[in-house]
Amino acid sequence: MEARFNYYGTTTGQKFSKYINSAGKASGDSGVPYATTQLVLLRASQINGCGMCTDMHYKDAIHAGDQPERLNLVAAWREATVFTDAERAALELAEEGTRIADAAGGIPDDVWATAAKHYDEEQLAGLVSTIALINAYNRMNVIARTPAGSYQPGQW
């Protein structure tokens, strides 16, 4: 695939990315385990068809020590036995938050209640922020057709 244009090579793209990266640091300090955050980022990116972000978050998770077997099962997390109940709650929240336009009324109360059983308010705020952030990044990359496959862990 060829990019439509180099979004990140524009002044506007660089500024916008800088600001949302800064916002993303707040969610990283929320107490949600890094591995869980990577699962959420990976699942939302899969749903949105963002190859760039799928590549990045898979590689970052591997680099941080997660197992390929787990990451390969993220798209089928409901059937997989390799995720904790807390990770499942985060993945379900990520799916519902990513597919928000498909759900009249937004996130179902039972999905929120399950997440709230496993995460405190700071962590819930971190998950919500992470889901919002990755959906923004997915849209930027999908619209610009940012190619996938060349990301190296720690590149950004």
Q: How many domains does the chain have?
A: 1
pLDDT at 139: 97
Does some domain include residue 156?
no
Does some domain include residue 114?
yes
- Residue 115 belongs to what domain range? 7-144
Does some domain include residue 126?
yes
Q: Are 71 and 58 in contact (CB under 8 A)?
A: yes
d(CA 54, CA 76): 15
Return the CATH number at 64. Answer: 1.20.1290.10
Does some domain include residue 152?
no
- What the block records as the tokens of 131 is 């889901």
* Residue appearing with tokens 């996130």: 107
3-class SS string, the chain: CCCCCCHHHCHHHHHHHHHHHHHHHHHHCCCCCHHHHHHHHHHHHHHHCCHHHHHHHHHHHHHCCCCHHHHHCHHHCCCCCCCCHHHHHHHHHHHHHHCHHHCCCCCCHHHHHHHHHHCCHHHHHHHHHHHHHHHHHHHHHHHHCCCCCCCCCCCC
pLDDT in tens, 6-42: 999 999 999 999 999 998 888 888 999 999 999 999 9
pLDDT in tens, 54-83: 999 999 999 999 999 999 999 999 999 999
Residue 110 has pLDDT above 90, yes or no: yes
Does some domain include residue 116?
yes
Say what percent of the chain tops pLDDT 70.
Answer: 100
Does some domain include residue 33?
yes
